[in-house]
């Protein structure tokens, strides 16, 4: 519910109403406007009738329902809010961060070489999976903690913050110890226990879109994380399953303007998983920036033919450097910067 305070309500009246809301077991999200203050009350929907009674409290003008089911991820209660993941690395600002790196961490040499190359080309964060969700149980499953250590060494060497996937709650404390951004993969977008668990950390979360999920379901998943108090969520469009087989997924770039209209959260685009083919990645990355995304994530491998996972969609360091050059002009054309 939204509690709209009267114009000129005193600070004391506002505080009293907030206390009353909290005593009913709700979280308060005040927005102090120039003209008046509104207070969002977030919690169990069954208590709506009790909140409605606040209309009789001093200083309150009216109590109205929040119309969208995603209250924090939506725009009724919260304005567009950038997410800072490391000093100077902000998603949702004028400058677009670029996340680059291999699908999987394979060795110390591989991750260091990739980190140095992508940094040289202008990437802002390093990606690399140490825990890999693979379709086949016989495929490489990731180097686990060894991989996390290698990522940390690459961060040490290059200064690039790390984005890495967490697949299950049991390793969340470990992954959170190493990661600057926790990635929730497409297959876990509706793993509600995992979403609640990352919501209890204070690490930024990159939430990938479920491969068969609507934008509405995706925002409800973001809401699970935010409802636990972690508001630092970055959405990542990575393609959805359609009848098309020429591409690995169908990259839904219309989700970008849709989310601009619907959500307080930044949205980035992953054209690597979105297309599945290295030759399609640069065009779709440029299209994503033109569509207004807040960052991109691209898979880069020093030798894609030898990659242990997703080699066919990985760019070489040279192709990535060329892409970065062209992205700078596209970003400038839409009033952004890379």
Q: Alpha-carbon distance 112 to 105, whole Å? A: 10
- Residue 124 or 186 with smaller CB distance to ligand PEP: 186
Q: Rounded distance, CA 318 to CA 65, Å?
A: 53
Q: Which of 47, 122, 133, 292 binds ligand PEP (CB under 6 A)?
A: 133
Q: Rounded to an integer, what distance in angstroms lies between the CA atom of residue 274 and that of residue 315?
A: 14
Question: Using CB atoms within 10 A of its CB, is residue 202 exposed (0-12), middle (13-18) or buried (19+)?
Answer: exposed
For Mn ion, which stretch binds (CB under 5 A), given 96-104, 120-128, 245-253, 275-283? 96-104
- Stretches 103-111, 115-123, 226-234, 262-270: which one binds Mn ion (CB under 5 A)? 103-111
How far is residue 202's CA from residue 236's CA, in Å, rounded to a whole number? 19
| In the complex, least distance from residue 102 CB atom to ligand PEP, rounded to whole angstroms | 9
Pick out residues in 272-331 that bind Mn ion (CB under 5 A): 310
Residue 56, exposed/middle/buried by CB under 10 A (0-12, 13-18, 19+)?
A: exposed
In the complex with Mn ion, which residue's Cβ is closer, 14 or 268?
268
Paired with 60 in beta bridges are: 5
Which CA distances in Å does 299 have to 41, 75, 88, 187, 262? 41, 31, 23, 18, 28
Tell me the sheet residues that pair with 4: 38, 62
How far, in Å, CA of 237 to CA of 233, rounded? 13
Least separation in angstroms between CB 282 and ligand PEP: 18
Spatial CB neighbours of 80, under 8 Å, sequence gap ≥ 6: 92, 264, 266
- Residue 133 site contact among Mn ion, ligand PEP, none (CB < 5 to 8 Å, cut-off depends on kind): ligand PEP
Here's the x/- map for ligand PEP, 181-210, by CB under 6 A: it reads as ----xx---------------------x--
**Of the candidate residues 78, 273, 286, 336, the single one contacting ligand PEP (CB under 6 A):** 273
- Residue 103 corresponds to which tokens in the numbers above? 């699908």
Degrees, nearest 5: CA angle 216-218-219: 65
Judged by beta carbon distances under 5 to 8 A according to partner kind, the member of ligand PEP, Mn ion, none in contact with residue 313 is none
**Residues between 99 and 128 that touch ligand PEP (CB under 6 A):** 103
From CA 45, how far away is CA 61, in angstroms rounded?
21
Give residue number: closest CB to ligand PEP: 185
Residue 2 beta carbon to ligand PEP: minimum distance, rounded to whole angstroms: 35
Residue 274's binding partner out of ligand PEP, Mn ion, none, with CB under 5 to 8 Å set by partner kind: none
Whole-number minimum distance, CB 272 to Mn ion, in Å?
A: 7
Q: Which stretch binds Mn ion (CB under 5 A): 100-108, 117-125, 170-178, 275-283?
A: 100-108
155 counts as binding ligand PEP under rule CB under 6 A: no
Does 103 participate in binding Mn ion (rule CB under 5 A)? yes
Binding positions for ligand PEP, rule: CB under 6 A: 103, 129, 133, 185-186, 208, 238, 273
Binding positions for Mn ion, rule: CB under 5 A: 103, 310
């Amino acid at each position: 519910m939204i509690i709209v305070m009267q114009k000129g309500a005193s600070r004391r009246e506002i505080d009293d109403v907030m206390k009353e809301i909290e005593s009913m077991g709700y979280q308060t999200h005040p927005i102090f406007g120039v003209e008046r203050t509104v207070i969002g009350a977030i919690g169990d929907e069954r208590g709506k009738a009790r909140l409605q009674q606040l209309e009789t409290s001093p200083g309150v003008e009216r109590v109205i329902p929040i119309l969208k089911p995603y209250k924090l991820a939506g725009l009724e209660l919260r304005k567009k809010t950038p997410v800072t993941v490391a000093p100077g690395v902000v998603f949702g600002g004028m400058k677009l961060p670029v996340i680059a790196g291999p699908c999987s961490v394979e060795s110390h040499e591989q991750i260091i070489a990739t980190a140095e190359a992508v940094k040289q080309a202008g990437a802002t964060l390093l990606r690399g999976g140490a825990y890999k969700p693979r379709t086949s149980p016989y495929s490489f499953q990731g180097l686990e903690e060894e991989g996390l250590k290698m990522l940390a060494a690459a961060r040490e060497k290059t200064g690039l913050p790390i984005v890495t996937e967490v697949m299950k709650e049991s390793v969340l404390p470990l992954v959170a110890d190493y990661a600057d951004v926790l990635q929730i993969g497409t297959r876990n977008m509706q793993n509600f226990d995992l979403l609640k668990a990352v919501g209890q950390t204070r690490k930024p979360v990159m939430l990938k879109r479920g491969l068969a999920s609507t934008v509405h379901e995706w925002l409800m998943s973001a809401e699970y994380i935010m409802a636990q108090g972690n508001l630092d969520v970055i959405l990542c469009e990575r393609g959805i399953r359609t009848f098309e087989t020429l591409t690995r997924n169908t990259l839904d770039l219309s989700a970008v303007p849709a989310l601009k209209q619907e959500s307080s959260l930044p949205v980035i685009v992953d054209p690597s998983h979105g297309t599945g083919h290295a030759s399609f990645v640069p065009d779709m990355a440029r299209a994503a920036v033109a569509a207004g995304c807040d960052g991109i994530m691209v898979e880069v491998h020093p030798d894609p033919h030898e990659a242990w996972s997703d080699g066919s969609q990985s760019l070489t360091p040279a192709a990535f450097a060329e892409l970065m050059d062209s992205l700078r002009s596209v970003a400038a054309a839409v009033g952004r910067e890379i």
